[in-house]
Chains A and B, each alone.
Chain A
Amino acid sequence: MSHHGSGASQRTVRDIVFVDGVRTPFGRAGEKGIYAGTRADDLIVKCIRELLRRNPSLPPERVDEVAIAATTQTGDQGLTLGRTAALLAGLPRTVPGFAIDRMCAGAMTAVTSTAGGIGFGAYDVVIAGGVEHMGNHPMGSGADPNPRFMSERLVDPAALNMGNTAENLHDRFPAITKQRADTYAVASQAKLAAAYGKGLIQPDLVPVAARKPGEGWTVHSVDEPPRPGTTMADLDALRTPFRPHGRVTAGNSAGLNDGATAAVLASAEAAAELGLPVKMRLVSYAYAGVEPEVMGIGPVPATEKALDNAGLTIGDIGLFEINEAFAVQVLSFLDHFGIPDDDPRVNRYGGAIAVGHPLASSGVRLMTQLARQFEEDPSVRFGITAMCVGLGMGGTVIWENPHHPDYSGTTSAASATEGATA
């Protein structure tokens, strides 16, 4: 319950801060992947427990909500994930939870909707995250699209396949060539490898024990999808599965992956009261819809809307964490805002092309990485996390860096962050 004083008729909007975020190492979906045979709900439970371990000053009973996203909410991702995960993680039974879905932007939506609740005064502290085990739940499995989509031509059936929408985006922006997409993808792999080399990824990973028939138990503590050392020649050799002589390949798009993420958010007052670190302050967020056939362009209107809400311009943004569902989708965003393909403000640790994209979980990965970059670079005041969403949407969240000298947050928590303690 909120401890924030607000009368029945008067409400003040409160500052919302990002306290901490973690994720499981991501795996490749399928029988050979590291999480074949592991349950999706177990993945999210490990994240929640790690958050509580890393933040011992947070009494578990002070968590007011657990919002967990998944795109396919059946089987091990069913049964109101937020509530089941809270119970399985050992949170007190008094802590409620719910499940949430906005496809790829699931975890992002879990963050923004609970953040709305914090701002409004309904919550002090929440856990928000997402999980997708695409091995257990192949994309679109169990879906039953309404025949009206086709009969009334509401959506081109091809738009239900994300790879096709990426090819469509290449058609719309002929300047974005396969060459540019592959160059971007090679850089993504290289940037992730460099970040791993500097130990910037590992501190926010939760180790996960997994067991396979005939192999026994092991504990996974690094991502499985990355292919460090990928070259242009490697990417040239790949087929274009969505079109003959197309441009979109497995190499310049995110793979099919398994993984989970979770974050703690709080009101600035609650963070100060409980001695929780403040890694970022939420400035604004926005979602926008676009034509489903070119869903990858979604982040452009979403970002414009979020900037407008915040009274900022693109020039104010010092760091970008954009989900890389497809290289073409990132490049269309960069072209729109006049940002070079290799701008050092963009995806410093690489992106989903290298690390993977377990659909509903990715939003919090972007935030956790942005928070770490804020800490590394106090000269940056504002950063954004953005992603495209299937069926033609985009989502953008703008964050402020508490380490910046002009930080506007009313509360300066004792230690903004001390990084990993695990």
Chain B
Amino acid sequence: MSAADFIEFAALFPDETVTHALVRDIELPAAAGKPSPGTFALITLDNGLDHSKPTTLGPRTLVELGKVLEGLRERAARGEIAGVGVTGKPYYLVAGADLSAVKALEKREHGLWMAQLGHDVYRTLANLGVPSFAFINGAALGGGLEIALQSTYRTMSTGAGALALPEAFLGLVPGWGGVYILPRLIGPENAVKVMIENPLSNNRTLTGPQAFELGIADALFEPADFLEQSLAWAAEVISGHVVPERGNAVDPAAPDTAARWAAAVAAGRRFVEAKTSHAAHAPGKVLDLLEANRTITQAESAELECETLAELMQTDEFRATVYAFLDLVQKRSKRPAGAPDRNLARPVTKVGVVGAGLMASQLALLFARQLKVPVVMTDIDQGRVDKGVGYVHAEVDKLLGKQRISQDAANRTKALVTGSVSKDVFTDADFVIEAVFEELNVKKQVFAELEAIVTPDCILATNTSSLSVTAMAEDLQHPERLVGFHFFNPVAVMPLLEIVRAPRTDDAVLATAFELAKALKKTGVLVKDAPAFVVNRILLRLMGEVTAAFDEGTPADVADNALRPMGLPMTPFTLLAMVGLPVAQHVQESLNAAFGDRFPVSANLQKLIDNGVKALWETAPDGTQEIPQSTLSLMSFGTSPSTGEDVLRRTQDALAQEIGLMLDEGVVAGPEDIDLCMILGAGWPMFLGGITPYLDRVGASERVNGKPFLPPGRASRPAAG
């Protein structure tokens, strides 16, 4: 086959942003006193756009690249060229397959063609008749890194970043040869790290030096003259003066390889189990291919890879992941739905934090580090104030100790955070946030005091997780200045910020809140003032169902493990212990007050709180998890146990109902914002698409609401499929 056989297929993508394969002939530099080793054809992959538009590999791009490579193969046969190189426009080798194009593949057959097209093109690259070189100047993801792997030799820039095979994260496999070549090049253990562990660890990527260290590249050069040095190195390789050493490479046929290979695959499977409970299929498929390909040829592996890709491209999981990753996290998070014109935002040059407890101290640290403006904390006595400021200073010292910040930055941040027992320090603050006890009257009193001190323009914010922002604003002279600013724990890590608009919050205040979120490197999502907003309402609805099933007599392990097929980051009871039983119960009570029986308050849970029990599960002396008899004896259970399937279905239906109601109430602009909140605020997996694509996929939306949340094709296969 040749690239030309795919022209008809490529024609299905008239809107693709084509990454062109531009070829220049370069006379290779000669060693002293020797003739030049010949002419080198250098391909630059370039879509003609600036660095904000990454180069990608769509069908038309691949056909063009394939034709160019076939032309070079002919020139090599005629003896016109001595080598071929591939590099990219600044900052990118290639960012990977064009996911928008792949997501649009309507039929399994189309996915198969796409997979075969990539293999056809890369096979040409690997069999030009002359050596091929990838000069990895920048990001190389997925199919982008596979272009490099399919080349005979690779050089790496120390300035390159975002090097990865993220397919397992996206719901695919590195099926353009990566899964076959990588374990041979860098060893099966390292290959599992790159293809499994990194993708499933928040889609971690490698830097140039790290990738070089693993053996992905043969030579490492600095960015200032990367291409010149790469070319000089290529000339040395072509003329035989340099023979790259590959210390991590393995021969699959060597006697000890089989055991190493099997052990690496087994370790990978354990990792996948721990990270996803096998709820996502793609990581397992990667390991299946890796396991199978030790003893087969590259061509045989290519066929398996194509079949697997074709299958996975048609799964809803893959499409939900692309929706979550591209449409939500990459795009929607940068343009928050409903946020007012950013030009309305006011500058924030000093921040006040009312309270000096743990949450308040975390907020002070975040504001000081990210905004680099003075932050002043207040509390009712000097001891609390000192403790809060001391916490911030200690955290800064920890960052310094880990060399995450410089001594100067540490000095600056510490100097920015001060404390006082008098709220008079807020007179020149532009933004004051409270993080005091979760009690409406306490908060209203704080705001009343603040209004007497702060300037008329000063924005007041609450970090409440369950109280009504509207009620808090009621007695204010300037209710338009109050906004909800709900962070998630731990504040430094969780990327979500629910920005709560009360009925009278004005646009300038809201615009400032969104600009502030951006400056704090958080994703702000606009939510209406409704009990527990988005993330906590959904989490507590879920925990309420599981707790209710447990209270009804379902065994703890059955109830707590029923949601495993969803692949959530932790089980409901583990989450409950992490949040803290009293906090969870407090929010549940306020939700029960607002919405009634949909949020049942568990009497068993109250008994545990009353007796100071901090978690249901405890670690037994033999290392297993168990509920101690002392805990069990505090509780009473019903006599109608459920199966795990029942609990799962019941929870799915409850979530579909709750989200349907939230959308009817206008809590957020659409199901996309619900999904964005659950991904960024609760760490729910991309392959669920957040949550609504999952509920559509399992039929819960249809069962409860009579319709899906999202139109077919948005985060799933198109209806025609």
Pairwise interchain contact B22-A216, C-beta atoms closer than 8 A: yes
9 contacts between A and B (CB under 8 A): A45-B224, A207-B232, A214-B20, A214-B22, A214-B48, A215-B24, A216-B24, A217-B24, A219-B26
Contact of A217 among B29, B32, B42, B232 (CB under 8 A): B42
List 19 additional A-B contacts (Cβ < 8 Å) besides A45-B224, A207-B232, A216-B23: A46-B224, A46-B225, A49-B225, A89-B224, A90-B222, A206-B228, A208-B228, A209-B226, A209-B227, A211-B44, A213-B48, A215-B22, A215-B44, A216-B42, A216-B44, A218-B24, A218-B26, A219-B26, A219-B228
Q: CB of B87 within 8 A of chain A?
A: yes
Q: Does residue A88 face the partner (Cβ distance < 8 Å to B)? A: yes
A420 at the interface (CB under 8 A from B): yes
Q: Known contacts being A211-B89, A420-B32, is A217 close to B224, with CB within 8 Å?
A: no
C-alpha spacing A88/B231, complex, angstroms: 21
With known contacts A211-B89, A213-B48, A214-B48, A219–B43 Cβ distance under 8 A: no
Q: What is the bound-complex CA distance between A214 and B222, given in angstroms?
A: 25
A207-B24 in contact given A88-B224, A90-B224, A217-B42 (Cβ < 8 Å): no
Asked if B42 contacts A218 (CB within 8 A), the reply is yes
Q: Does A410 contact B (CB under 8 A)?
A: no
Question: What are the interface flags for A352-366 relative to B under an 8 Å C-beta threshold, 1 for contact and 0 otherwise?
Answer: 000000000000000
A215–B21 alpha-carbon span in the complex (Å): 9
**Which residues of B are found within 8 Å of A415, using beta-carbon distances?**
none
B555 CB → nearest A CB, Å: 64
**Could you tell me if B48 and A207 are in contact, using CB atoms closer than 8 angstroms?**
no
Is the CB–CB distance between B227 and A221 below 8 Å? no
Q: How many residues of A contact B (CB 8 A)?
A: 26
A207 & B231 in contact (Cβ 8 Å cutoff): yes
Q: Are A209 and B24 in contact (CB under 8 A)?
A: no
Question: Which of A216, A219, A419, A422 sits near B231, CB closer than 8 Å?
Answer: A219
List of B residues within 8 angstroms of A208 by Cβ: 228
Give the shortest distance, in Å, between B447 (CB) and chain A (any CB). Answer: 50
CB contacts (< 8 Å) of A46 on chain B: these are: 224-225, 228
B27 beta carbon closer than 8 Å to chain A: yes
Structural contact, A217 and B44, CB atoms closer than 8 A: yes
Chain B nearest CB from A93 CB (Å) reads 14
| B607 vs chain A, min Cβ distance (A) | 64
Sort A-B residue pairs by CB-CB distance and give the 10 closest, nearest first. Answer: A216-B44, A216-B22, A209-B227, A218-B24, A207-B228, A217-B44, A209-B228, A219-B26, A219-B231, A216-B24
| Residue interface bits B241-253, CB-to-A below 8 A is 1, else 0 | 0000000000000
B120 CB within 8 Å of chain A: no
User: Which of B27, B44, B46 makes the CB contact (< 8 A) with A221?
Assistant: B27
Q: Mark B35-59, 1 if CB is under 8 A from A, else 0.
A: 0000000111010100000000000
* Complex contact B46–A216 (CB within 8 A): yes
The chain A residue with its CB closest to the CB of B24 is A218
Contact A216 B43 (CB under 8 A): yes
The residue on A at minimum CB distance from B90 is A211
B32 touches A421 (CB 8 A): yes
The interface residues of chain B lying within 8 Å CB-to-CB of A90 are 222, 224
Instruction: State A215–B228 Cα separation when bound (angstroms).
Output: 17
Asked whether, in the complex, the Cβ of B225 is within 8 Å of the Cβ of A209, the reply is yes
Q: What band does the interface of chain B fall in when counting residues whose beta carbon is under 8 Å from A?
A: 20 to 34
Chain B residue numbers with a CB within 8 Å of A45 are: 224-225
Q: Smallest distance from the beta carbon of B411 to chain A beta carbons, Å?
A: 20
Tell me, rounded to whole Å, the shortest Cβ–Cβ distance linking A214 to chain B.
7
* Interchain CA distance A419-B33 in the complex, whole Å: 11
Q: Which residues of A contact B (CB under 8 A)?
A: 42, 45-46, 49-50, 88-90, 203, 206-209, 211, 213-219, 221, 419-422
Q: Is the interface of B mostly helix, strand, loop or mixed?
A: mixed
Closest chain A CB from B88 CB (angstroms): 9
Name the CB-closest residue of B to A220: B26
Contacts of B44 in A (CB 8 A): 211, 215-217
Query: With A and B bound together, what is the CA distance between A75 and B474 in angstroms?
Result: 56
- Docked complex Cα distance between A206 and B89 (Å): 22
List A contacts of B226 (CB < 8 A).
209
Closest chain-A Cβ to B257's Cβ sits at a distance in Å of: 39
Docked Cα-Cα span, A88 to B24, in Å, equals 27
What's the Cα separation between A213 and B89 when bound, in Å?
Answer: 10
Distance to closest chain B CB from A238 (angstroms) = 30
A221 lies within 8 A of B22 (CB): no
List residues of B (680-717) whose CB comes within 8 Å of A's CBs.
none
Q: Given A217-B24, A219-B26, A221-B27, A49 and B224 touching (CB < 8 A)?
A: yes
CB neighbours of A206 from chain B (8 A): 228
Which residue of the partner chain B has the closest CB to A418? B32
In the assembled complex, how far is the CB of residue B160 from the closest CB belonging to chain A, in whole angstroms?
15
Q: B13-29 interface mask toward A, CB cutoff 8 Å, 1 = contact, 0 = none?
A: 00000001011101101
| Most chain A CB within a 10 A radius of its CB, from B26, B29, B43, B228 | B228
B5 → chain A closest CB, angstroms: 26
Chain B CB within 10 Å — which of A88, A206, A215, A218 has the most? A218
Complex: A383 Cα to B26 Cα, angstroms: 37
A49–B292 Cα gap in the complex (Å)? 48
Question: How far is A207 from B232 in the complex, measured between Cα atoms in Å?
Answer: 9
Q: Are A217 and B48 in contact (CB under 8 A)?
A: no
Closest to B89 in A: A211
Chain A residue contacts of B232, Cβ below 8 A: 207, 422
Name which of A45, A203, A219, A420 has the most chain B CB atoms within 10 A of its CB: A219
Q: How far is the CB of A54 from chain B (nearest CB, A)?
A: 12
Q: What distance in Å separates the Cβ of B558 from its nearest Cβ neighbour in chain A?
A: 61
B414 CB to closest chain A CB (Å) equals 25
Query: Using Cβ atoms and an 8 Å threshold, which residues of chain B touch A422?
Result: 29, 232
With a CB–CB cut-off of 8 A, which chain B residues contact A203?
Answer: 32
Task: Give Cα A419 to B90, complex, Å.
Answer: 34
Q: Chain A residues with Cβ under 8 A from B89's Cβ? A: 211
In whole Å, how far is B17's beta carbon from the nearest beta carbon of chain A? 15
Q: How far is the CB of B144 from chain A (nearest CB, A)?
A: 17
Instruction: Determine the chain B residues whose CB is within 8 A of the CB of A420 once the complex forms.
Output: 32
Q: Which residue of B lies closest to A203 (CB)?
A: B32
Within 8 A of A (CB), among B450-483: none
How far in angstroms is the closest Cβ of chain A from B318? 33
Give Cα A215 to B89, complex, Å: 11
Shortest Cβ distance from B42 into A: residue: A217
Query: How far apart sit A217 and B226, CA to CA, in the bound complex (Å)?
Result: 12
Q: Report Cα–Cα, A206/B225, bound state, in Å.
A: 10
B44 closest partner in A (C-beta): A216
Residue of A nearest to B231 (CB): A219
Q: Which residues does chain A contribute within 8 Å of B224, judged by CB atoms?
A: 42, 45-46, 49, 88-90
- CB of A208 to closest CB in B, whole Å: 7
Task: Kindly name the residue among A216, A221, A419 whose own CB sees the greatest number of chain B CB atoms within 10 A.
Answer: A216
Whole-angstrom distance from the CB of B44 to the nearest CB of chain A?
3
* Contact residues in A for B20 (Cβ distance below 8 Å): 214
Residue of B nearest to A217 (CB): B44
Distance between B158 CB and nearest chain A CB, rounded to angstroms = 10
A217 CA to B92 CA, complexed, in Å: 13
Which of chain B's residues have a CB closer than 8 A to the CB of A49?
224-225
Tell me the nearest residue of chain A to B88, going by C-beta.
Answer: A217
In the complex, are the beta carbons of B87 and A217 less than 8 A apart?
yes
